Amino acid sequence: MNNKIKFIVGSIVIVLAVVVLAVQGLQEDSTMSYSKSVSELHILGDRAKTLSLKVNGDLKKGSITRNNLDLDFVITEGASELQIHYIGTDPIPDTFNNEMDAEVVVSGRLADNGVFNAERIQAKCASKYEADYSSPGFEEEA
Amino acid sequence: MSYIAYLIGSGLLLWALIPLFKKDSTWVSMYLENEELEDHKKRVYGNIADLEFDYAMGRLSDKDFKSVRQSFLTEAGRVIEKLEQEASSELRAQIIKDTSVLGKKKPHKKKKNMCPDCGSKNQLEAKFCMKCGKELS
Amino acid sequence: MADLGNILLFFLFPASVFTALTALAAGYTKRRGLLEAARRGAYVAFGVTTLAVLALEYLLVTSDFSIEYVASNTNLALPMFYKVVALWAGHNGSLLLWTWIVTIFSAIVAYQNRHKNNDLMPYVIFVMAATMTFFSILSIFISNPFDTLYQDLGNTLQEYAVPDGRGLNPLLQHPAMVIHPPVLFIGYVGAVVPFAFAIAALITGNLGAGWIHTTRRWALTTWGFLAAGIVLGGKWAYVELGWGGYWAWDPVENASLLPWLTATAYLHSVMIQERKGMLKVWNMTLVIATFLLSIFGTFLTRSGVVSSVHAFANSGLGPAFAIFLTIAALFSVGLLLFRAKDLKPDEEMQSLVSRESSFLFNNLLFLLATIAVLWGTLFPVISELFTGDQITVGPPWFNNIMIPIGLALLLLTGVGPLLAWRHTSAETLKRSFGLPILGSAVFVAILYFSGVKDGWALGSFAISFFVMWTIVFEFVKGARIRSKNSGDQFFKAMYMLSRKNTRRYGGYIIHAAMVVMFIGFTGNAFNSETRAEVGEGDTFELGPYTFYANHIHHAENENYSSETLELEIRKGDRIVTLIKPEKRYYFASEQPSTEVGIYSSMREDIYAVLSGMSNDGQKVIVQVYRNPFVKMVWIGAFILVFGTLFAMLPNLRETKSGKIVQESKGVE
């Protein structure tokens, strides 16, 4: 019995340690990010400026401008738009050009001037793993 | 072209069905009454082997080794004794069953229906011996 | 041919249902005929699925673009090799691959056990057939790779063919990506076998250790293939995705890690059941968990529940998987609870300072790791349910938990073997641990004074040193003892020693592999990077290296066009090597991709990515990373595979006359 208790105590200590690590991990600023769509972001209003965010939207074709290492573009959801300024250092994903139908997820924070400073960009080509061949539009793409 | 596929598919399924129509038998459950004892025996032997290995590798003092080994050997002894009891009681039961059969007609030899009195062969379904009239069981 | 394939695939459904039902009937009636019919059913399922797969391959290889799958995943210009492996490039095909492997394993298991385990086999086959049935429903009725292309003409749908296909996603045109799915799937599907046997044991009440022995090699196979699949995925991400790392705690990555964690726990806790008759219920739980997590992993990848760069687009299979998982979970747990009273432990733990306790802590840590990764992966879903906000946790959260757990586990791999079963005396502790601890302390001191200040890195190197020492000690001391007893020369003694107990020594090799991989992981603490815009002739620096842009080069072939930077790496006066990061644009799929330029040495990787062109098109923007010890991860993985194979070898045994003989089952 004595050993069983020792073992249980030891286990509880370990479990508590892990829980502490888990909670501590959540406190760190950059770890938790809220996923919002463009329109949801606008609804948040000023509160959005305090959060670490992951915003998803569709790339507005033709909105990409590059200036040396600067990258700016617009993402949309329905009628809502969001101006993005890329401040990260990672290479821009390959699916990212003015021609693509891309779904974009930008991670970063909303600045005071309403522009979103993106530290990371994830872009998914609209039909990467799924071809939409049953729609008549396909022939034009081919 | 597609009929080939239907042919192959159906053919294979039919092949799988065949065993259902053959003369069948059941298997006897292999679960040993003493499977638990066998597991226990394997466990103790494994423990002894590990113990000897740990001792050789210098992880145990002489004293520890001797005393733990003794307790394992005792345990192994007990398990083997129990197994032998099981085996001997099984054996005893089997002997009883077999000896009770000796002197009686051996039922599995019913392929040919032999009359126990005159020894002549009879039809399988025969109730009375064709030669001497003895009632067949 | 498409019709042929479609019909043959369709036969899988009746075949698997037939197999399941006859198997169940065989279990209930114990009739040999029924069991034989069930076995044949498994063979038939394998047969028709194989033929269906061959049919699909034919369509891919002949570029039949009337089939949607062929048109989505290949094009005329695609090299033949990739046309063949496009079998698993897209969702429908990869699901068919999964299904095929289930039928293969079912057939093998049925065949392997045709003369034994009659009590268990009906239910084993039943479980495998039930799984097969589920996947066949998905493959036939929901995500059928043989679907043809249709055109909507208003009133009717007409079949048609496109002149050329969309081609293979360029990210997938890489050797590591080619073998990653099959390897990973073998790992996933392998989990079904021990699960099936466990369920059979629970149903029949044959709760002895027999089912564990029979499935030992299957469990090891699953574990090894999962590990290899995970590393291959990491290698691919490193080389193809171009962000400089190999693991991002992405939901799909985590999905493959989860069953591996529980499988590792199982491989260890099984030894406790073997030696102490403890943890019987726990072992059952782990086997069930590994199976459920494997299915869950496939579910996560395909359902779009958690968004990820990897995930296949939402394919509508989510609900089906959820139902299957729920039924399987309820059924297994219910069975386990029903039989729990017959799974009482035979012995108790006697001391905290024993091998048992180190195994128990090992399992506790793996359990916590599994929960943590599961929690983090599902956090967006959970948080949305409870707060309305979808919140994602990133790598820092995972690393915060997993690094300490990983290091604790690594430490245990060194401590465990040094402890005795039942109890280890203080004297032994001093003797066994004294030198290794001293050695590690000295090693760490040397590192510290050479400039390594990062606490976690020092801890990691200390533990690595300690564990490696204990492993080498096991081999050397064991060989010496044997050499003395048998007269064998030292290395022969080491070989014979290992071959006589492949599980133990294979396990040590795997632990050594983990140490090597951990050294690789620790390298991340020392990563550095830089970024520069260069034209031909420009230079820049990172650490002790100077980079010289030798040449910028444009090329084109029928598959893609490319932009290549020839980057010379110099150290002082010496030219180290030339690397060629490249950016490609694939015509058929209209997708760009990055080819990373890597110079990999034992000490570090120099890793260059082209992130873009300057506005005037004369210069390229290149990102260069210095990643220490990455090669260790890949080398460690190779050693791991070797160790796994070694552990599967049957033990050699010496007969009384001194002859060496191979045992048919290697367990000790």
| Residue extents of the structural domains in chain B | 32-103
The H or E element spanning position A123 is strand A116-125
pLDDT greater than 60 at residue A136? no
- A27 to chain C, any CB pair closer than 8 A? The answer is no
pLDDT greater than 80 at residue B67? yes
- What digits encode the pLDDT tens for the residues C27-44? 999 899 999 999 999 999
- Residue A111: which CATH number? 2.40.50.140
Q: Which of C120, C122, C134 is nearest to C25 (CA)?
A: C122
Interface of C with A in 257-316 (CB under 8 A): 307, 309, 312-313, 315
Q: Which of C483, C142, C157, C524 is nearest to C324 (CA)?
A: C142
C-beta of residue C238 within 8 angstroms of C-beta of residue C245:
yes
Interface of A with C in 123-142 (CB under 8 A): 124-125, 127-131, 133-136, 138-139, 142
Among A73-82, B32-41, C508-517, the least confident range:
B32-41
pLDDT greater than 60 at residue C306? yes
pLDDT computed for residue A67 by the predictor: 67
pLDDT computed for residue C668 by the predictor: 37
User: CA-to-CA distance for C622 and C315, rounded, in angstroms?
Assistant: 37
- What digits encode the pLDDT tens for the residues C320-349? 888 999 999 999 999 999 999 888 888 888
Among A41-55, B29-43, C194-208, C543-557, the least confident range:
B29-43
Contact between chains at C401 and A94 (C-beta distance less than 8 A)? no
Residue of A11, A68, A134 lying closest to C364 (CB–CB):
A11
With pLDDT > 70 as the criterion, what percentage of chain A qualifies? 73
pLDDT computed for residue C349 by the predictor: 81
pLDDT computed for residue C601 by the predictor: 92
DSSP B27: P
**Which token pair is B124?**
């399988």
Ranked by mean pLDDT, which of C42-56, C197-211, C607-621 comes out on top? C42-56
User: CA-to-CA distance for C481 and C484, rounded, in angstroms?
Assistant: 5
Kindly list the residues from chain C whose CB atom is less than 8 angstroms away from the CB atom of residue A22.
372, 375, 397, 400-401
pLDDT greater than 60 at residue C559? yes
pLDDT computed for residue B32 by the predictor: 63
- C70 to chain B, any CB pair closer than 8 A? The answer is no
The pTM is what?
A: 0.87
pLDDT computed for residue A140 by the predictor: 25
Task: Give chain C's end-to-end CA distance (angstroms, integer).
Answer: 51
Ranked by mean pLDDT, which of B126-130, C90-94, C136-140 comes out on top? C136-140
pLDDT greater than 50 at residue C667? no
C-beta of residue C465 within 8 angstroms of C-beta of residue C454:
no
Amino acid at C33: G
**Residues pairing with C530 in the sheet:** C624
DSSP C237: I
pLDDT computed for residue A125 by the predictor: 61
Taking CB atoms and an 8 Å cut-off, how many pairs form between chains B and C? 137
Q: Which of C545, C485, C474 is nearest to C510 (CA)?
A: C474
Residues constituting chain A = 142
Residues A54 and A91 grouped into a single domain: yes
Q: Does A17 fall in a domain?
A: yes
Kindly list the residues from chain C whose CB atom is less than 8 angstroms away from the CB atom of residue B4.
4
pLDDT greater than 80 at residue C351? yes
- Give the nearest chain A residue to C591 (CA atoms): A95
pLDDT greater than 80 at residue C312? no
Burial B39-55 (b: 16+ CB within 10 A, else e): bbbbbbebbbebbebbb
Helix (H, G, I), strand (E, B) or coil at C71: helix
Residues A38 and A25 grouped into a single domain: no
- What digits encode the pLDDT tens for the residues C560-598? 888 889 999 998 888 889 999 988 887 776 667 788 899
pLDDT greater than 70 at residue C625? yes
Contact between chains at C44 and B16 (C-beta distance less than 8 A)? yes
Residues A19 and A54 grouped into a single domain: no
Burial C377-391 (b: 16+ CB within 10 A, else e): bbbbeebeeeeeebb
C-beta of residue A33 within 8 angstroms of C-beta of residue C394:
yes
Among A125-134, C15-24, C103-112, C196-205, the least confident range:
A125-134
DSSP β-ladder status, A80-86 and A116-125: parallel
Q: How far apart, in Å, are the Cα atoms of C224 and each of B3, C210, C252?
A: 42, 22, 19
Domain count, chain A: 2
- The domain segmentation of chain C, as residue ranges, is 2-317, 527-631
C-beta of residue C185 within 8 angstroms of C-beta of residue C97:
yes
pLDDT computed for residue B96 by the predictor: 76
pLDDT computed for residue C589 by the predictor: 67
Residues in Cβ contact with A20 at an 8 Å cutoff, skipping those fewer than 6 apart: none
pLDDT computed for residue C154 by the predictor: 74
User: CA-to-CA distance for C607 and C584, rounded, in angstroms?
Assistant: 17
User: CA-to-CA distance for C215 and C599, rounded, in angstroms?
Assistant: 42
Interface of B with C in 1-20 (CB under 8 A): 1-2, 4-6, 8-10, 12-13, 15-20
- What digits encode the pLDDT tens for the residues C509-527? 999 999 999 999 999 989 9
- A18 to chain C, any CB pair closer than 8 A? The answer is yes
pLDDT greater than 60 at residue B105? no
Angle between helices A2-27 and C395-415 (to 10 degrees): 150
The larger pLDDT score, comparing residue C657 to residue C165, is at: C165
DSSP states along C538-587: -EEEETTEEEEEEEEEEEE-SSEEEEEEEEEEEETTEEEEEE--EEEEET
**Residues pairing with C584 in the sheet:** C562, C593
Residues A57 and A75 grouped into a single domain: yes
The larger pLDDT score, comparing residue B96 to residue C542, is at: C542
Helix (H, G, I), strand (E, B) or coil at C169: coil
Q: Residue C294 — very low, low, confident or very high, per pLDDT cuts 50/70/90?
A: very high
Which structural domain range is residue A9 located in?
A: 1-32
Residue of C7, C275, C425 lying closest to B43 (CB–CB):
C275
Where do we find the tokens 């080794």?
Answer: B65
Q: Residue C301 — very low, low, confident or very high, per pLDDT cuts 50/70/90?
A: confident
Helix (H, G, I), strand (E, B) or coil at A141: helix
User: CA-to-CA distance for C68 and C63, rounded, in angstroms?
Assistant: 11
